[in-house]
Amino acid sequence: MKQVAILQFPGTNCDLDTQYAFEKLGCKTTIVWHKEKELPQNTELVVIAGGFSYGDYLRSGAIAGFSPIMDSVIEYANRGGKVLGICNGFQILTEVGLLPGALKRNINLHFISKFQTLKVVNNTNEFLQKCNKEEILNIPIAHADGNYYIDENGYKELEKNEQILVRYCDNRGKRAIVNGSVTSIAGICNKNKNVFGLMPHPERALEVVLGSTDGVKMLEGLIA
């Protein structure tokens, strides 16, 4: 049984959904309060859940990045441990430098909350290993700061190393401008392919009755 640690900051609000999701997929989960200094022993995956840590003050994810638990998360990631950041978790991972680039205010300045189609760009990583390349997934998004920015050199690196995970697209797979992200990027991983971040919420797409089960094959990749 995989051991999953789910971080909780003041303002995190997807911790319980994330816990439900990984337990449904057969994992043992522990919610870890941000003031803890160590991750639970035998942690096999760290998930930074979505929400509004510290009310998004200063910048989304900026203050959470300096919480006590983050030192051990950074060390864990640098040792090769798997880390997934969803939404606010993605913002936190860019703020601490575990993922390149930054997330700016959406181009239309709106908080966008809806189901969104995504296209799998690369599946040469553990996270998307169960998805097909170019497969279209239907996953909810809910964010105000999801406008991914990276400079030109950084972007070339992402492309070259197959670090782009998913892009926003329309029903036919054509790139869609949703929040102004560089080339419609919705999620990326680091060069070593052990740290993953995305704005969409796969943990909210596990039940037919809730509109989509496409989140299952995403999350399953990380616990295979």
Partner 1 sequence: MKAIVNIFLKEGVLDPQGKAIHHALNAMNFEGVDDVRMGKQIVLKLSSTDKKEALKEVEKMAEDILANTVIEDYTIELF
Closest separation between CB of residue 77 and partner 1, Å? 18
Residue placing its CB nearer to partner 1 in the complex, 151 or 159: 151
The verdict on whether 203 is a catalytic residue reads yes
Residues 6+ apart with CB under 8 A from 61: 53, 88, 91, 92, 93, 94, 95, 103
Among all chains, which residue has been given the structure tokens 């497969």?
A: 135
Nearer to partner 1, 85 or 202 (CB): 85
User: Which residues lie near partner 1 (CB under 8 A)?
Assistant: 58-59, 62-63, 65-66, 94-95, 100-102, 104-109, 147, 149-150, 180
Q: Measured from the CB of residue 149, what is the shortest distance to partner 1 in angstroms?
A: 6
Q: Distance between CA 51 and CA 48 in Å, rounded? A: 10
Dihedral sign for Cα atoms in the order 174, 111, 203, 185: positive
Shortest reach from residue 155's CB to partner 1, in Å: 13
* Shortest distance in whole angstroms from residue 118 CB to partner 1: 22
CB of 109 or CB of 208, closer to partner 1: 109
Which residue of the set 27, 87, 131, 189 is catalytic? 87
Q: 36 by DSSP, 3-state: which?
A: coil
Q: Which lies closer to partner 1 via its Cβ, residue 135 or residue 157?
A: 157
Taking the C-alpha atoms of residue 105 and residue 80, their distance in angstroms, rounded to an integer, is 31
Angstrom distances, CA of residue 41 to CA of 15, 45, 70, 117, 174: 20, 11, 16, 37, 44
Clarify whether 87 is annotated catalytic. yes
- Catalytic residue numbers read 87, 201, 203
